[in-house]
Structure 1
Amino acid sequence: MKKTLKLSVLWLARALGLFGLSRRLTRSKLRILCYHGGNIGDERQFNPLLFCSAEHLDARVRWLKDKGFTVVPLDAAVDGLATPQARPALPVVLTFDDGWYSTYQALLPVLARHGVPSTLYLCTQYFERGNPIPPVVLNYILWKSGKSEIDLAGFGPGIDGHHVLADRPATRRLVEALVEQLDAIADPAANRALVERFAAAVGVSAAELDLGSRRFDYMTPDELARIPGLGCAIELHGHVHLYPVGVPQRLKDDLAACAAVIRGQGLPEPRHYCYPSGDYDHNAHAALQEIGVKSATTCLPGLIDTATGRDVSYLPRFLDGERIHALEFEAEMSGFSDFLKRLAGRG
């Protein structure tokens, strides 16, 4: 009901020309968009903010072009943060998080066809391991099973026993215990065998899981090396996918490890960072400045007029995906949603 009411209000606002007015009033403000992986099977039904179809992204880019937006590279956009008057009309940056194979296989070709640039924030630990991403594939398996309760045996302490999946804290602990096991298995074949054994234990066949499609994998080094040719720059998402709240030295060490892997692939020195899961604290700016990181993006939506000093380390970004209705996307990109938030005192 709440969603329906929201969409009705947005439809009326668009019909009254308020979206167009908002675009004109915010034409110099920068927007940053965030996507993750593409869709190969039914991943977008499992997590519609983590995975989206090529058709979804294509429709978004076509709308942006039709409304006069200019897609700009992240580095150029950051260099112009202090001078909005020098920006092109309706500037927008397209970014991807993580490093999914499906980003390479399904989404980046869409942007290449449209001739627009993008940025990939790469999480390097999972990239180096080359296995299915444990928390994602495990939660997918539980979703795919369709079960409310499961019984496990032969997996070890913290895993074996009866589990009520509606008990979210307990289910989270189950997944964490399985992730710990998978992270300890370096051999790809053995790692995938454990994933398939867990899937079979809850009633999901190997064919349904379809690990061979690589829909839960990151890119290989050869694939990563090709994406600059698709107009995509490689930047920092951390070596581990976890922000070390309150420990700035760990942040610096983590980003040094991430940058070393990226350089080791023969790619340019990364200078921009995306907070994993959008987590950050007040220590981030000083730490990023010390190691020469030019900008950092959050997962909080908003438009950027000017950004100097600390603001550059906490840039807003809109997380788009299959769960976002076209009207919600248009309201955000037009600046109408930002107007409503400011009207409500939440800008």
Structure 2
Amino acid sequence: MNGRHRAIAAAFRIMAATGADRWSRGFAQGRGVILTLHHVRPAERHGFAPNALLDLTPNFLDAALGLIRAEGYDLVSLDDAIARLQSPKRGRFFVALTFDDGYRDNVEHAWPVLAKHGAPWTLFVTPGFADRTARLWWLELEEAIRALPRLDLVLPDGRFTARTETDAEKDHAFSRLYWRLRKGPEAILLSAISDLARQAGVDPVALVERDCLPWETLRALSGAPGVSIGAHTLTHPMLAKHDIEAARREIVESQSRLEAELGLPIRHFAYPVGDPGSAGAREFALVREAGFASAVTTRPGHLVAEHADHLHALPRVSLNGLHQNEAALRALLSGLPFWLRNRGRAEQSWRIASTLGQAGGEQSEASSRHLRWAAAPQR
């Protein structure tokens, strides 16, 4: 956990110690919240594990759902969340659960916990992962750096070198290279990571096979009580980095492919990575034109009344491995961190989600830092 993450954790503890996460609900809490999850599995990784921020333990998920129920909040499906958002009637605060990418552990470890609590959930699936043709490039980068004692890459914006002999050196190199590649074209990112994977002997297909659900399991899962399937593009690209036709194809064909494979309507969409550099006004319009009922970003915030008019740019709140404790969960459910981020402005996060990235998801570096304050994993 770096200094920024430690500061966020300290803020959560202060909110809990002062009771601010309780007395602020009247003005800070929205109508509901959509939670983002990725992996749910027992804690096993130690030392160099930069993608462990995507992991929750089954025990924490169990405790989180128990707390949500104990607070009197409703656990609802994404369909119900949209219906409540559109309804003028005020009801109890609601929580919808969403899982991105389609990982095996969502079925093996998360589903039993979800079933125990009677919690509906939406799984956003990338068909390319089920096909074993798309790439978990962030895992490739981790595995390559784990295997290599030194990095030496020639990139269009200059050479990148780093010693990677110790866990600390590997962590530093991963962070530097990850964010440097994220800023540029996705083709350069994929090519550079492919080069490192080849050097390290990392098999990209084996990583997808190890971590992602196959079609046969997805077919068995679809239609199960409490389970909804959503689309997450064909191959998990950062859509705003691609031309409009490529972006449209990723959106439209992910829906049609899932419907053909699973035999069910696919109503909801999640933008890969989901920050302003990956999805902006153009992508929101494309998803709306494709006929999806809603689409979710990774921009942090609660759902407020105005989101009923912005159903294809909905915020979510990340449950992640950085902050697996009651204080963090209570703070996130209170809405106070997001109210403070917006300095109490009434427009809340819907206006941020609707206005940032007007030019295909472009943003200033200052805006990028501002939106990353809550440490939401963006993979």
Q: What interval of TM-score do these two structures reach, taking the shorter chain for normalisation? A: 0.7 to 0.9
Q: Taking structure 1 as reference, are residues 96 and 339 closer, same or farther at Cα in structure 2, changes over 3 Å only?
A: same
Mark the CA change 1:118 to 1:196 in structure 2 (over 3 Å): closer, same or farther: farther
Task: State whether structure 2 residue 221 is matched by structure 1 residue 227.
Answer: yes
Q: Closer, same or farther in 2 for the Cα pair 1:175/1:138, shift >3 Å? A: farther
Runs of 4+ aligned structure 1 residues displaced above 6 Å come to: 194-197
Matched residue, 2:19: 17
| Residue-by-residue CA offset, 1:160-209 (whole Å, 9 max, x unaligned) | xx963537279969973376589xxxxxxxxxxx989715xxxxxx9xx9
Question: Which ranges of structure 1 fall in alignment gaps of 5 or more residues?
Answer: 153-157, 183-193, 200-205
Corresponding residue number in structure 1 for 2:89:
85
State how far apart, in whole Å, the 2-side matches of 1:93 and 1:125 are: 25
| Distance apart, 1:129 and its partner CA | 2.1
Q: What amino acid maps onto 2:310 in structure 1?
A: D
Give the deviation of 1:91 after TM superposition: 0.3
Q: Which moved more, 1:43-52 or 1:97-106?
A: 43-52
Matching of residue 277 in structure 1 with residue 273 in structure 2: yes
Q: Among 67, 70, 76, which residue is 1:63 paired with?
A: 67
Aligned length: 317
How far 1:20 moved relative to its partner? 1.6
| Matched residue SS, 1:138 | helix
What is the distance in 2 between the residues matched to 1:281 and 1:170? 19
Residue 148 of structure 1 and its aligned partner are, at CA, apart by: 4.4
Cα distance between partner residues in 2 of 1:320 and 1:181: 32
Q: 1:41 to 1:86 in 2, by over 3 A?
A: closer
Structure 2: state its 5+ residue gaps. Answer: 164-172, 182-186, 349-379
Tell me, in whole angstroms, the C-alpha distance in 2 between the residues paired with 1:38 and 1:215: 17
Matched-pair contact (CA < 8 Å) for 2:232–2:271: yes
**Do 1:32 and 1:92's aligned partners in 2 also have CA atoms closer than 8 Å?**
yes
Q: For residues 317 and 308 of structure 1, what CA distance do their matches in structure 2 show?
A: 12
2:311 partner amino acid: V
Q: Residues 230 and 113 from structure 1, CA distance in 2 versus in 1: closer, same or farther, beyond 3 angstroms?
A: farther
Q: CA deviation at 1:49?
A: 2.6
Deviations 1:11-65, CA, capped at 9 Å, x for gaps: 3433333212233556661101001123367458441232222122222212211
2:113 to 110, 113, 122: 110
- Find 1:32's aligned residue among 31, 34, 37: 34
What is the 5 A alignment of 1:157-176?
A: 164=162, 166=173, 168=177, 176=190
Q: How much has 1:260 moved relative to structure 2?
A: 2.1
Structure 2 partner of 1:98: 101
- 1:106-158, Cα deviation, whole Å (9 max, x unpaired): 21221112110000111111211278x4414422323533x541689xxxxx9
CA–CA separation in structure 1 for the residues paired with 2:320 and 2:209: 17
Structure 1 or 2, whichever has the larger Rg, is: 1
**Paired residue type of 1:177:** S
Q: Which of 125, 128, 133 matches 2:131? A: 128
SS in structure 2 at match of 1:276: coil
Alpha-carbon contact 1:28-1:91 (below 8 Å) kept: no
Equivalent pairs: percent with the same residue?
21
CA RMSD of aligned residues (A): 3.7
- Counterparts of 1:1-347 in structure 2 under 5 Å? 4=6, 6-25=8-27, 29-39=31-41, 42=44, 45-83=49-87, 85-87=89-91, 89-129=92-132, 133-145=135-147, 148-149=149-150, 164=162, 166=173, 168=177, 176-177=190-191, 198-199=201-202, 216-228=210-222, 229=224, 231-245=226-240, 247-278=243-274, 279-307=278-306, 311-326=310-325, 327-343=327-343, 347=348
